[in-house]
Chains A and B, each alone.
Chain A
């Protein structure tokens, strides 16, 4: 079983490994026949080129701002909304929850044109804000649905006990519900971040100015043309683009696995 697992890991990880190795090889080595696996000489020149001679850092900053902003907005709204959908009884609650799921099932490409027109009319097209707003529209339903099931797994008695102990509804929410929902919130935040970080289509349609471009479209636009692909720079860029997500996963791994575990506290 171990052998199978490791084989799968190797197969999946190989492209990443190749990416890292290629990024530290000299360009001349890339197209050698026979191809080399390990670099003959390690060089970081591509990284320096990317940082110093291209707008890469601008794109990086833009992506970071958009992804963090999207994550914050989504988490705040989804946590409160999920709590409401899970705990309060009001007419049409189940219908609303189903609608939320339904909007998430819509392919995002369907909404691009109307969203673009809306942004132009609002005068916010071609801004970081427009992308944050756009990403929120499809990250939020997913986050609501995910967090709702986490909230449903939190025993109702906990909140009742807090209320009897003198907490207001908001105090009960912050003191008791949030800490219990934390694994779920962290997983949802990470997913929202990755969704926003990796998004390409909306970025391409909604933003055309260099200064506002995020990494996805910026790097593609810069390094891939009809005539040439700057492989070394592309690999270096890919490595740097993967770093925040990998670091995030590594730091939050414990929370994530708890979050994956059926999203709940034992009753």
Chain B
């Protein structure tokens, strides 16, 4: 078990900045996800931690030891690759024992350890097979086994579930969570799938264009995103954004848009909100916080999708689109006219569509949405 520290780590390829000044600490025993879209620098960061890439500047430490100059094999890490990277010419047993062989462990000891890991991952009976004779899920477990057998201080996982079908993926997610609970080692997990990050991690580090946007618990990044990027990346269906006019009044803050009027107490937003003479901001509201009410902002149902346990509805409101998420009892049809309200305690206010969040989260935002009837 070890702490991992990225200290002002920067990686530049030719002229492209892949990772810009990353400062991140993964606590000992923590499951940390690096989450972001393709090209955000998460895999590069993981590879630098593994020793497969050299940082352009900055230091990486494992257990308080700077490892910039330490070769991958000596960092006490193990890695599971997206492609599994199983050695095709070796059997499952040989694949799993390979790290032990490199460490000089004797044959008898190796066989014991391989058996242990195989039983843990339900690979008994497959030990003599070659990787190409295994299913995707089995290959993935062999890759995990090869990592486990080393008992490293830090596990690195590079999108290990992305090659699996949906059902197997959710099964393996649960298995990985249980594995982490059982062995309690530090795990750094790279993914572009926010559902994986949210369900598996102790903390999530959201990255975009090489820059760390936010590092926090799943609850923090979901309910208190620091900016519009994090807010839109986390959660599916994505958060709705509506551009509104901002006005500070005597008794609070008024946010207005065509067909929509919201009032918030003045302490709900940070002082700088509107302080710079800003008159437009962007509000964000998650689909599950959109309510169909007796009065409110008028909207038209465009698409109604039922998954069986919930209904996802696409509305047209005030010239733009809005997605709502409702229980199975809310039944609407395309073409229905409804009025919507927002759960203002869950309202987010941003500087713009890609700006930082202006809410002050000292206490929950209390307020009322008022609709202007057409």
Q: How many A-B residue pairs have CB under 8 A?
A: 63
| Contact B89–A161 (Cβ < 8 Å) | no
Query: Which residue in B78, B81, B88 is a CB contact (below 8 Å) of A160?
Result: B81
Cβ of A166 within 8 Å of any chain B Cβ, yes or no, is yes
Asked if A34 is at the interface (CB within 8 A of a chain B CB), the reply is no
Bits for B69-98, please: 1 = Cβ < 8 Å to A, else 0: 001111001110111011111000000001
- A167-188: CB near B (< 8 Å → 1, else 0) gives 1100100011001100000000
CB <8 Å contact, B102 and A267: no
Do A163 and B51 touch across chains, with their CB atoms under 8 A apart?
yes
Smallest distance from the beta carbon of A63 to chain B beta carbons, Å?
A: 34
From A157, A165, A166, A167, give the contact of B83 (CB < 8 A): A157
Q: Are B52 and A164 in contact, with the CB atoms below 8 A?
A: yes
Complex alpha-carbon distance, A19 and B278, angstroms: 95
Query: Does any Cβ of B come within 8 Å of A76's Cβ?
Result: no
Partner of A161, one of B51, B71, B74, B79: B79
A261 in the interface (beta carbon within 8 A) = no
Q: Which of B17-68 contact A (CB under 8 A)?
A: 50-52
Minimum CB–CB distance from B373 to chain A (whole Å) comes to 60
Q: How far, in angstroms, from A185 to B79 measured CA to CA in the complex?
A: 30
Which one of B52, B88, B89, B98 lies within 8 Å of A165 (CB-CB)? B98
CA of A265 to CA of B79, assembled, Å: 21
Q: Which residues of B contact A161 (CB under 8 A)?
A: 79, 81, 85-87, 146
The count of chain B contact residues (Cβ–Cβ below 8 Å) is 24
Contacts of A158 in B (CB 8 A): 85, 87-88
Contact residues in A for B216 (Cβ distance below 8 Å): none
Cβ–Cβ contact B89 & A167, under 8 A:
no
- Name the distance in Å between A185's Cβ and chain B's nearest Cβ: 13
Q: From B73, B82, B88, B103, give the contact of A164 (CB < 8 A).
A: B73
Residue from A160, A164, A176, A267 having most chain B Cβ neighbours under 10 A = A164
Most buried by B among A163, A168, A179: A163
Tell me the complex Cα distance, A176–B146, Å: 15
Contact A180–B89 (Cβ < 8 Å): yes
Chain B: minimal CB distance from A176 (Å): 6
Q: Say whether A180 contacts B73, CB under 8 Å.
A: no
Cβ of B99 within 8 Å of any chain A Cβ, yes or no, is yes
A155 in the interface (beta carbon within 8 A) = yes
Q: Which of A155, A166, A176 is close to B73, meaning CB atoms less than 8 Å apart? A: A166
CB distance from A242 to the nearest CB of B (A): 33
Are the C-beta atoms of A157 and B73 separated by less than 8 Å?
no
CA–CA, A162 and B51, complex, Å: 12
In the complex, what residues of A have CB within 8 A of residue B77's CB? 164
Instruction: State the majority secondary structure of interface residues on A.
Output: helix
* Closest residue on chain B to residue A155 by CB atoms: B83
A153 to B357, CA, bound (A): 47
B81 touches A165 (CB 8 A): no
- Check B73–A163 contact: CB distance below 8 A: yes
Complex Cα–Cα for A165 and B147 (A): 8
Which residue of A164, A166, A175 is within 8 Å of B50 (Cβ)?
A164
Name which of A161, A168, A179 has the most chain B CB atoms within 10 A of its CB: A161
> How would residues 233 to 267 of chain A score, 1 for a CB under 8 Å from any chain B CB and 0 otherwise?
00000000000000000000000000000000101
A168 engages B73 (CB within 8 Å): yes
Per the bound structure, the CA–CA distance linking A84 and B73 in Å amounts to 21
| Other-chain residue from A160, A167, A265 in contact with B102 (beta carbon distance below 8 A) | A167
In angstroms, how far is the closest chain A Cβ from the Cβ of B335? Answer: 49
CB pair B88 A180 closer than 8 Å: yes
Verify A171–B81 contact, CB threshold 8 A. no
**Nearest chain A CB to B322's CB is how many angstroms away?**
42
Instruction: With both chains docked as a complex, state the minimum distance between the C-beta of A169 and any C-beta of chain B, in angstroms.
Output: 9
Contacts A179-B89, A180-B88, A265-B88 given; indicate if A164 touches B83 (C-beta within 8 A).
Answer: no
CA distance A161 to B73 in the complex (A): 9
What would be 14 A-B contacts, judged by CB atoms less than 8 Å apart?
A155-B85, A160-B85, A161-B87, A162-B98, A163-B72, A164-B77, A164-B79, A165-B78, A166-B74, A166-B102, A166-B103, A179-B87, A265-B88, A267-B83
Identify the 10 closest CB pairs spanning chains A and B, nearest first. Answer: A166-B102, A166-B73, A161-B85, A157-B85, A165-B99, A179-B89, A163-B72, A164-B72, A164-B79, A157-B81
Using CB atoms and an 8 Å cutoff, list the residues of chain B in contact with chain A: 50-52, 71-74, 77-79, 81-83, 85-89, 98-99, 102-103, 146, 150
Question: Known contacts A160-B50, A163-B73, A164-B50; can you find 17 more A-B pairs with CB under 8 A?
Answer: A155-B83, A157-B81, A157-B83, A158-B87, A160-B52, A160-B72, A161-B86, A161-B87, A161-B146, A162-B87, A164-B73, A165-B73, A165-B78, A171-B102, A175-B87, A179-B87, A180-B89
